[in-house]
Amino acid sequence: MLLSNLCTSALACCGLLLLLLGPPAAHGQSQPSKREPFVLGHIDRIKSGQLNEERVLNIYLPEGYENDSKATYPVMYLLDGSADEDFIHIVGLAQFLTFPWIDALPKSIIVGIATVDRRRDFTFPTRNEKDRKDFPTAGKSAAFMRFLEKDLQPYVEKTYRTNGQKTLIGQSLGGLFAMEVLLKKPALFTTYIIASPSLWWDDESLVAQAPGLLKPAAAAAPVSVFVALGNEGPEMQKATEAMVAALRAASAKGSRIEYVPFPEETHATILHRAVYQAFETLYKKPK
């Protein structure tokens, strides 16, 4: 009898729990509202004559873009800009910092360049045999640079309302490529945000070439540069600091070179905080 009463009580408790946790009865159930997509941006596809392939662009247009047909905007070109890479969180930073009560960044168009083969596109040829063996497709950054200049920028400027201000954002191998553009074709962009660049590539040859490459740049238009470095070890720190010193010594008159170490960040976590601080630093309005 005692066992029977215990079982009955247990079943009653289970039934009560199911009533509390389970779905409401059908006759009292409210129907969910119709679900709609949450749209952050859109996708453009362009045929690149320089790369002989189709490239995917993830595009973010700032709030109000569609409502003011006369307004023009800066453009931020994001390397590693696939949806599953850095596009979403960098757009989030830009959207947050353009809130009217923050107003730390001008409303900007963001062009995320979806990755196809970053080792191919972001590196110049290397003489290091191990790197050549490990990365057999590497060494085509010159073609990717032409893609930016001759395919991508003309397309964006024809398709969207731009104002001539152009930022390039890159990290790791993307940072190496951004640094190469800065040294070899600085006028392609007005601002460079570079996080933990892989300057070890080709036994740090880009660092060694920097003073000579920067001599022609001294007569070019000034640029704004923000270089960030995570906790990458002494060799990468030494190479990055040498590059920053070369930039400060020989960049065009009026250029702004900022260098911020982030010792608490790793190679994997550096980009978000670096871009946030770069936005705040480079676009801070005078009080």
Q: What is the pLDDT of residues 200-221, one digit of tens each?
A: 999 999 999 999 998 876 667 8
Q: Which amino acid is at 98?
A: T
Residue 272 is given by DSSP the state H
Q: Buried b vs exposed e over 56-65: b needs ≥16 C-beta within 10 Å? A: bbbbbbbeee
Range from 17-26, 72-81, 131-140, 206-215 carrying the lowest mean pLDDT = 17-26
CATH assignment at residue 128: 3.40.50.1820
Q: Flag whether 57 is in a domain.
A: yes
Which residues contact residue 17 at a Cβ distance below 8 angstroms, ignoring those fewer than 6 apart?
none
What domain range is 74 assigned to? 42-283
Q: Flag whether 240 is in a domain.
A: yes
Q: Flag whether 37 is in a domain.
A: no
pLDDT for the residue numbered 286: 63
Q: Are 167 and 190 in contact (CB under 8 A)?
A: yes
pLDDT for the residue numbered 107: 95
Range from 31-35, 125-129, 212-216, 263-267 carrying the lowest mean pLDDT = 31-35
Q: How many domains does the chain have?
A: 1
Q: Flag whether 35 is in a domain.
A: no
Range from 120-124, 215-219, 238-242 carrying the lowest mean pLDDT = 215-219
Is a pLDDT exceeding 90 seen at residue 126? yes
Q: Is-above-0.85 flag for pTM?
A: yes
Q: Flag whether 192 is in a domain.
A: yes
Q: Flag whether 160 is in a domain.
A: yes
Q: Flag whether 197 is in a domain.
A: yes
